């Protein structure tokens, strides 16, 4: 990896957001809602996906390379919109660019513990996230402090299903039943969406809750908290972009342009310019 580029000084510079695929578009949606005046660069590292089956050292190296790409294209702040990359690499990214606002996604255990009424929280995430040492340490810390019980539900194949754009089909519906119903049967009154892909099937999850839950159930999408933290950091650094001119959105992908273009259309109803790129 080459030397880290110089940070841009202007508030008019874009925010860089990256994920291994299209799940980070759920975080982008919250950023656009809370910071509608900001320019954004979205990087989908689909050619290297999934991150979850790669060694941690490889994820760190890749995340640093993607961060360098975005900063080289003028990003004033970074959002690591991927649970796997956040756990593995956010410390390394912050060490490489100590003066930059950098926000990662968390699995939502703390808001889950704060929200639950009966102390039972279901956590839906990838198998790799739920088996991660850092995740399990965080679970134990929060469980000890809050007395909340966390039911960990690996949702094998669900993120890949969402990557295909199938949000409402029978296979996706069957997956959701397989993963959500056991949590409801065990009494969870709070469901944490611990992967950035899952908010795109939140409507299906809420239909299952309405049909099968014995009482009120809260579904937590952590993208809202990520956008709020980003706004705080930008304001603190004097980097909030003033309104006036129209903000721009640009996409980058390490796979074919068509995949990310279609995801922007299907998931967000947006049609930004998308460029296929290669990074080392």
Residues contributing to the annotated binding site: 19-20, 51-52, 83-84, 196-197
Alpha-carbon span 65 to 32, nearest angstrom: 25
CB of 5 closer than 8 Å to CB of 67: no
Among candidate residues 22, 80, 195, 274, the one labeled active-site is 195
Residue ranges at the known binding site for substrate: 19-20, 51-52, 83-84, 196-197
- Which helix or strand (DSSP H or E) is residue 249 part of? strand 249-253
Radius of gyration of the chain (CA): 18
Among candidate residues 82, 208, 217, 274, the one labeled active-site is 82
Alpha-carbon span 38 to 15, nearest angstrom: 7
**CA distances for 181 relative to 63, 124, 173, 206, 213, angstroms:** 35, 12, 12, 11, 9
Residue 195 annotated as catalytic: yes
Alpha-carbon span 77 to 229, nearest angstrom: 12
Alpha-carbon span 228 to 220, nearest angstrom: 15
Least Cα distance to 148 among 192, 106, 104 occurs for: 192
Residue 155 annotated as catalytic: no
Alpha-carbon span 209 to 195, nearest angstrom: 19
Question: If you count DSSP H runs as helices and E runs as strands, how many of each does the chain have, helices first?
Answer: 11, 10
- Contact partners, residue 15, CB within 8 Å, separation at least 6: 31, 35, 38, 39, 40, 41, 75, 76, 77, 78, 79, 230, 234
**CA distances for 148 relative to 124, 133, 183, angstroms:** 16, 19, 14
> Where in the sequence numbering do the catalytic residues fall?
82, 195
């Amino acid at each position: 990896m080459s030397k880290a580029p110089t940070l841009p000084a202007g508030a008019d510079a874009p925010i860089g957001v990256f994920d291994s695929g299209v799940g980070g578009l759920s975080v982008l949606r919250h950023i656009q809602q809370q910071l509608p005046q900001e320019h954004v660069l979205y990087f989908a590292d689909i050619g290297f996906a999934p991150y979850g089956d790669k060694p941690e050292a490889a994820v760190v190296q890749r995340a640093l390379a993607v961060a360098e790409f975005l900063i080289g294209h003028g990003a004033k702040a970074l959002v690591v919109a991927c649970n796997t990359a956040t756990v593995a690499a956010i410390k390394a990214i912050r060490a490489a660019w100590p003066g930059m606002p950098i926000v990662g996604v968390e699995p939502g255990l703390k808001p889950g513990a704060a929200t639950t009424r009966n102390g039972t929280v279901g956590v839906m995430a990838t198998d790799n996230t739920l088996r991660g040492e850092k995740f399990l340490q965080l679970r134990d810390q929060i469980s000890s402090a809050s007395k909340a019980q966390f039911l960990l539900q690996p949702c094998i194949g669900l993120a890949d299903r969402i990557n295909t754009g199938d949000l409402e089909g029978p296979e996706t519906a069957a997956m959701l039943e397989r993963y959500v119903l056991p949590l409801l049967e065990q009494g969870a009154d709070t469901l944490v969406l611990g992967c950035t892909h899952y908010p795109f099937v939140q409507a299906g999850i809420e239909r299952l809750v309405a049909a099968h839950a014995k009482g009120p159930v809260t579904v937590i999408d952590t993208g809202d908290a990520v956008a709020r933290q980003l706004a705080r950091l930008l304001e603190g650094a004097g980097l909030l972009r003033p309104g006036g001119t129209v903000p721009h959105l640009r996409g980058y992908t390490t796979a074919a342009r068509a995949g990310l273009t279609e995801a922007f259309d299907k998931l967000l109803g947006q049609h930004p310019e998308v460029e296929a790129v290669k990074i080392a």
